[in-house]
Structure 1
Amino acid sequence: MRTTRRGLRQRPAAMLPDLPGPDQDAGPVRPRDPVYLAASLLLGRALHTVGTTMAQAARDGVVVIIALRAAVWTLPVYDHWQREARAGARPEDGFRTTYEPFYDPDAAVWVSWAPTEPPSIDQFALGAEVFADAVAAGRHCVGMAADLAWLPQDLVHSADLCLTMPALTGADVLLLARMLCGEEANTSFADDHAALLTPRLLRLARRPDQSADAYLAKLRALLERDRPTAAHPATAGSASIRDTPRLERLHGMDEAVSWGLTLADELQRVRQGQLTWEAVDRGLLLSGPPGSGKTLFARALAATCEVPLISGSYHAWLGSGTGHQGDLLKAMRATFETARKAAPAILFIDEIDSFPDRGTVRHHYAEWEVQVVNALLAEIDGVEGREGVVLIAACNYPDRLDPALVRSGRLDRHIAVRHPDPSALVGILREHLGQDLAGQDLYAAALAAAGASGADAERLVRGARRRARRAGRALLMDDVLAEIGDGDQRSPRDLQIAAVHEAGHVVACLALRVGMLTAVSLRAAGGRGGVTLTSGAAGCLTASDYRRRLIIRLAGRASEEVLLGQVTAGAGGDFDSDLAGATHLATLGVTALGLDPETGLLWSGAPTAVTLPEMLRQDPGLAARVRQVLDAAYAEALGLIRQHAVAVQALAAALLERGALAGAEAAAIVARHAALAPEQS
């Protein structure tokens, strides 16, 4: 991949659209391109909304932000702005972008193609510098993105105009058809259908010598064909997602949704005789914290595959009779038999971690539980040998499962679902809001609720609607924000401690470059004092990665000690706490990963949430070694926080003021203050 002279990544030529390059003449306007015309209509309406024109917005010295409706509109809007905004300028004064995902150092233009890979701290800092220079020089500046969090915040805050791209309306589509075909259409086009149109569909529907009615008919046919995948959040939420679940309406579980859509396609191919059942992937373990949407996924999977959903669980089977083992086994067999008779079908086993690991049970009724697990395995093997039954199991703690459950041929594919990041929370909130607050930007609410689960988002919307009903009016964004804020009743002192703690995690994450910072929030999610969300840190651990992750885990507590002069119990608690996570990781390094210089290559077992406390209690030597590893990592965390104390203080202050920050915002704050930290150490 090529780089610019300042080392920033450049989009490969194979990925470039069919647009003029930076040194080419823009060429004539393409009046027959429906996407270009649609972008012109939408931008014209956005400009009219703020009371200005393209000529005024494109003047030198004007800073413009364009909030795109979706990432798929990035290229059309960029194309239109490049052609129209600088149409009268000399060639050397025109756009000189090179289709950078972030920005080109030689032009005051920042284009974010999709909010999936935010810029690094250095890129944001350099971007802020470039735009400051451009503004001071009186140059035209523009930034466009589907997610404004991926634009330099200096650019966003200094914008003279902020244009919000609206949705296409039925009237827009009729006008578009008339401009393309040179005649009026005899039929109408619904607004909700128009809002679903994408640049791809607008172009796919176009034919030479086509009548306006024929173009509209083709658009309707394409929408119907793409109905499962083209749903726009504003219209897809017209009915509750729990009433009409489909995989396309789930957000924040991309890997699981992708697997489910592939399954739906494979089942369809089996029905058509194009694929045999043996080729279908039919066993999935879905793990994740409570409220992350595992049960909803099973319902959406069955609806998307258009097959029945049969469900059961350990507790449901146990409660089906008098509590005797015979009643439990009878109920379990009945559920599996129902699935076989209903095939093709989805069989969903919830809370499968309620079944014990036969290798760890030691109590007096261990034989009872062993027989139950054996019976479950026998039923699963029966499903494997019967066509048409796809087994989905959900749990909170996959490391507690009996290894036989996840061997090949059973639950042999494992997908972990985590709490959604703010971008995914936007989609979840939109689903639950339906037509309420249509067209409003939900990112601020999603950011304020960072760390919330999908179930939390549903509860927040329900509470916001209750507020609106009590006030006797329509739902307002203030209701949603108030509902999010009401969950936190902490004192100013506790909030300060939480802010310092989370700021320590963030600075350590950015300084050590482990994962991608998504958001940081003081929201007390799941009883915690705050949350720092990262992504992209998975993969094979090196010794350096291992050390860095330990430091990041302990940096919150270190931040309390350095900045507040004392530590609190905030780093401790249950198995999801910082201390538990650090202890688990340190033990793994000593006993199972071969990353400890003292134990070397000796493998003595991988601890789980259940076995870790017992391992440390029974082996004082192991506990002492793990303590040494933790103490060394904590010492490094203290040194890092002391070095960057100014940045930690600045970030904590911003968190106290805002409550939550996008990853890019937090990174920008740290970048501005990190250089001052060494002088303060």
Structure 2
Amino acid sequence: MDIVEFLEIVKSMPPSNSKPRPPWKLSLPDDENFMTLPIYIAFCGIAAAARPWNRKNAKFNLILCLSEEGCIPVYTAAARVFLNGIGNYKVGTPPFVSDWGGRYSNRDQFEVLRKEQAIFLREPKKELDDEAKLFGDAVVDVPLRSRRHVEAALKRFGMPISNRDVELLLSDPWSRLDKAFQEGRSPALALQRLRQYPRPGTPTVASVAKVAVPTLADMHGYGPVVEWGNNLARDIEDYRSGRIEWADVDDGVLLSGPTGTGKTTFMRALQISCGVSIVAGSFSTWQSAGSLDDFLQAMRKAFEEAKSKAPAILFVDEVDAFGSRNIRDHNRAYMTAAISGFLELLDGFHGREGVVVVAACNHPDSLDPAIRRAGRLDRHYQITLPDKHSRLSILKFHSGIELDHSQAEMFGMATEGFSGADIEQLARDARRAARRRVEVLSGTHIIAQLRTLTELSEEIVRALAVHEAGHALVSIEIGHGEVMEVKISQYRIEGKSGQLGYVRYGQIDARPKTRTEYLNAIAVCLAGIAAEMEVFGRFADGASGSEDADLNRATELATMLEGALGMGHTLLVEGSQEQLERLRAYHPEFRRRVHDVLQNEFGRVKSIVQARRATLDAIVERLMGRRTLSGEEVAEIVRRYRMPTVSLAKLPRRSAGG
């Protein structure tokens, strides 16, 4: 029914002084006894579709077109409740509701001529010809059950509103809902039974738990080592087809990074992408074989096994345990022999064609320099902890869950510093929790496994927005670095002091820098507290304390300017950072000069912030609404609010009467 038809119907209705009855208020005691939760959901849809006739003693003959199959029993009960609310029906005389196109449809069409109010329900597959449209006063589509209808039903029955229950009530067929929510059975028990006996074909916790084996395409946040792995896969394919010799294959690489960053996971992905076998070994497993001879024999056996499966990958974990031959202790003879044996096998004196050696360690600096020499493990990749975007991708891979915006914000904050292994464990715990509750895995289960988060008050969030907006504004105004992103957090991890906001800048080129550029860097460091002073008249203690805090960084730069770069009051420079700190602590004149640099730049920044207060406020308001702004968005705000300058080269003309 289009809007024109709807308006014609409204015009043709007799005037009435009675107000429409709100669909969530049921007037008859029988309604309370007869109503179940699914009937109420259907009732909300009927009330929305039949809103023009939702008046006491209204007269109509409606054909309501349903959007789903198999829902006639539920909607029939809901339609009777609707009619009971607007008509005067005697006890024992039910309202007229019929199934259009059903067994008794023709008889019912004749009978309805004697009724003041009648509703026919038509399922999607039932035909509706022009005669039907002539027969009914109106043909109206009943909207699909919506989240709002379901939430209203849960609220009416005193049930807590949770995403998992709403999704269940929106997705389960009406027949299942009708059977679960029987008269006399509590809604809580009905929901429990729906979850306990999921319909066939519904994704279960067990099916979600079957995660595919990762490939290099799934290695989010691993950086350049993924490109190396892809190149290796192509080289091995070319080697197998005879297009290249093994000498053209990059057959040795060193991976380093903290424990848990996913070096082993990367190896599984590399194996799958290259389509080769993998042989694993380590210093500790080879050493456990026994004496030095046993150690060397076990190591040679690992290389020989990899060669027998060539092309293959030999993964050597804990390679930093070999140490260096430069260290002199009582184990020097043993370690020297072990390293020499390893080098001999790396060099391939006994042949290692078809064997790619990938070594992993936590401390690459402790390796013997000869191991990292050209032709051995000269290529080195560091695997760092994943960033927020990478952590979300890792979670999706291990759980199949994509978090909504609010959940993603909480996840990003609570998993700061997490490795890929940590996130895999988190997904495993969430699956276990879902299994115990006989529920389908969802974002709610993921969030429940996170460290406790506290939502920040609006006052704190605004202070964060002012601080970060100050950094971004001053950086753009003085041309110090390209602003890439500005972000503030809405949550804080309980018991942990972490970064609640930041401005991310573009890559700064490596050219030599002048005094002006160092002063600009100091100014940007001080811009956050200058903005807080301008807006609030004070600034918070988050700007100092840690090495990376604004005031600490500004003080370090000013100290370097005066004492280490020859750009202060003298060309004389001091050596180490410790010497500069001692100068600042025990040399009053030097301390005063550092203080003057900071004060001068703080004064300059305050002037910029005061002059651009409207721009600052605009950035703050946008941040409060979005929490994250791109550099382009911030630059656009600055351009829009930038005040036009008046040229002093030409004075404005005086008026004729002036």
What TM-score do you get using the length of structure 1 for normalisation?
A: 0.45
What TM-score do you get using the length of structure 2 for normalisation?
A: 0.47
- Larger CA Rg, structure 1 vs 2: 2
Q: Which has the higher contact order (CA 8 A, sep 6+)?
A: 1
